[in-house]
């Protein structure tokens, strides 16, 4: 957990390794939670290979539009193999 004093520096470091996207594609893959569709839209717009989630609705999809949906532990396995 970060202390409130560390938040600005953390956000600054995050901005160095992130890309802000504005999705042009609207997806309605997950009916149970429409916010999960927004996650997929951003992943597609950003050209992601993976999205890492702990959300069961999204994890059930497993893969969409070439994007593999993994739990954090599964993604760590993939990263370690590369």
The domains of the chain are located at 4-81
2-11 CB burial, b ≥16 within 10 A, e <16: eeeeeeeeee
First to last CA, the chain: 28
> Which contiguous run of DSSP H or E holds residue 74?
helix 72-81
Instruction: List pLDDT tens digits, range 10-49.
Output: 889 988 988 889 999 999 989 998 899 999 999 999 999 9
Using alpha carbons only, how large is the chain's radius of gyration in Å? 14
Mean pLDDT of the chain: 90
- Express as a percent the part of the chain with pLDDT over 70: 96
pLDDT band for position 1 (cuts 50, 70, 90): low
pLDDT at 82 over 90: no
Using pLDDT thresholds of 50, 70 and 90, give the confidence band for residue 55: confident
């Amino acid at each position: 957990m970060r202390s409130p004093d560390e938040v600005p520096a953390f956000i600054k470091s995050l901005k160095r390794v992130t890309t802000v996207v504005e999705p042009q594609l609207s997806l309605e893959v997950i009916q149970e939670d429409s916010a999960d569709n927004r996650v997929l839209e951003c992943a597609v717009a950003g050209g992601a290979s993976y999205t890492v989630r702990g959300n069961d609705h999204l994890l059930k999809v497993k893969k969409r539009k070439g994007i593999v949906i993994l739990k954090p532990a599964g993604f760590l396995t993939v990263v370690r193999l590369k």
